[in-house]
Amino acid sequence: EIVLTQSPGTLSLSPGERATLSCRASQSVSSSYLAWYQQKPGQPPRLLIYGASSRATGIPDRFSGSGSGTDFTLTISRLEPEDFAVYYCQQYGSSPPITFGQGTRLEIK
């Protein structure tokens, strides 16, 4: 089973700042199979990034994804008030097919 470890657990920043979220895999993950989601309280997750670096439909270009192998990063270039939420990475692999990271909470400083 591929374990995804996200860091930090909580990130405290101010609007306008840059956010860098990390997702590290216990084994190599194909870049095609790494995604990022945003979840706000009481809502389902929303797909932000797929294929490690492709933005989903309607996602602002301040969100970007990068990385390969075992290290992946979600960057929010300039935080807006609506960006404060929990972020999850997710991979598709072999067995079990799909796993999520434990999440990073992005909170207002």
Partner 1 sequence: EVQLVESGGGLVQPGGSLRLSCAASGFTFSSYWMNWVRQAPGKGLEWVANIKQDGSEKYYVDSVKGRFTISRDNAKNSLYLQMNSLRAEDTAVYYCCSGLYYFDYWGQGTLVTVSS
How would you class 87 by CB atoms within 10 Å of its CB: exposed for 0-12, middle for 13-18, buried for 19 or more?
buried
d(CA 86, CA 83): 9
Q: Which residues contact 31 (CB under 8 A, 6 or more apart)?
A: 51, 52, 53, 67, 68
Q: How far is the CB of 50 from partner 1 (least distance, A)?
A: 4
Question: With respect to partner 1, which residue has the nearer C-beta, 13 or 56?
Answer: 56
The residue ranges that bind partner 1 (CB under 8 A) are 32-33, 35, 37, 39, 43-47, 50-51, 56-57, 88, 90, 92, 96-103
Shortest separation between residue 32's beta carbon and partner 1, angstroms: 7
- Give me the least distance between CB of 15 and partner 1, in Å please: 25
Task: Pick between residue 14 and residue 57 the one whose CB is nearest to partner 1.
Answer: 57
Residue with smaller CB distance to partner 1, 67 or 101: 101
